[in-house]
Chain A
Amino acid sequence: MKARVHVYLKNGVLDPQGKAISTALDHLGFDGVDNVRQGKLIELELAEKDRVKAQKNVDQMCQKLLANMVIENYSIELVD
């Protein structure tokens, strides 16, 4: 089973990289891009076959390491 974890900044946390990307897109001539936020995708290959257990494990991985819960949130997608 594969887990795809999206880690992204919480609303209200400044994202200077997102702002830089937005400025660069503007310079390239792409109009109408209002707000850019940059996050991370972390993919994990899991030996665990039980979806419930896998979800619980990956959730703990996010809480403990993959996301900094002070400034980030995460979402988990399990793919067979």
Chain B
Amino acid sequence: MKAAVIVFPGSNCDRDVKVALEASIGAPVEMVWHGGHDLPKTDLIVLPGGFSYGDYLRCGSMAANSPIMREVADAANGGTPVMGICNGFQILLETGLLPGALLSNAGLKFICRDVHLSVENSDTSFTSGYRPGDVIRVPVAHHDGQYFADENTLDRMEENAQIAFRYVEGDVPGPANPNGSARDIAGVFNTSKTVLGMMPHPERASDPTHGGNDGRAMFDGLINALS
């Protein structure tokens, strides 16, 4: 199977996610520059973390209007799975491929530590590597990760099982919810469950040498589901 990682000016987690994907796929992942319209036909598209366009105007707002995003949106609407991590999540929200928005962390600080996530919906290709209610430990590193949507939207999302991950208590010191996200939401799906956005970084917990390997099951499960 084939995967592509989109690279924006200021993306900095593109290589990490490439390494994580290749470990699960066993074949090279294509890096696609944002500036053109050459999106190869792939089974999976990943928008990586980082600070695309220096977070100018709003995080992800400029990248959402990059030339390649027209093709990415077409692919997503055609059913190609798309996964956005951290800044990638912000970009997907700005394009409207996912509902809601991300605000500055409630505490106004950049948070860089592990969190515990409960897998709310394991019935998707992205989360098929987990069982429902599994709790995983992955790092976050963000300043603007406070998920927001109005109450009606949140209720609808809950009904449609669009909540992918929630922050939960664990043995990591500090509040379970690091940024004040509504309903402790750490990641969401679109209605068809073909697009995922999450603030935490599974690619940084996908190898024993990372000090945590809980993210590996995500990539293995995803690749398995798509192959």
A contact residues vs B (CB 8 Å cutoff): 12-14, 16-17, 20, 64-66, 68, 70-71
Contacts and interface: CB of A to CB of B under 8 A. Distances in A.
B25 to A, nearest CB: 34
A70 B101 contact: yes
Interface in B61-119: 61, 65, 93-94, 100-101, 103-108
9 shortest interchain CB distances as A-B pairs: A70-B101, A71-B101, A16-B108, A16-B104, A16-B106, A68-B58, A68-B101, A20-B108, A71-B148
B100 A70 contact: yes
Category for how many chain B residues contact A: 10 to 19
B146 interface: yes
Interface string B138-182: 000000001011100000000000000000000000000000100
B149 A70 contact: yes
14 contacts: A14-B148, A14-B180, A16-B103, A16-B104, A16-B106, A16-B107, A16-B108, A17-B108, A20-B108, A68-B94, A68-B101, A70-B93, A70-B101, A71-B101
Interface of B: 57-58, 61, 65, 93-94, 100-101, 103-108, 146, 148-150, 180
Given A14-B148, A68-B94, A71-B103, 10 more contacts: A13-B148, A14-B146, A14-B180, A16-B105, A16-B107, A16-B180, A17-B104, A65-B57, A70-B149, A71-B101
- Of the listed residues A12, A16, A20, A64, the one surrounded by the most CB atoms of chain B closer than 10 A to its CB is A16
A68 B180 CA distance: 19
A68 B57 CA distance: 10
A25 B104 CA distance: 20
Contacts of A20: 108
A78 B223 CA distance: 53
A70 B61 CA distance: 13
A61 to B, nearest CB: 11
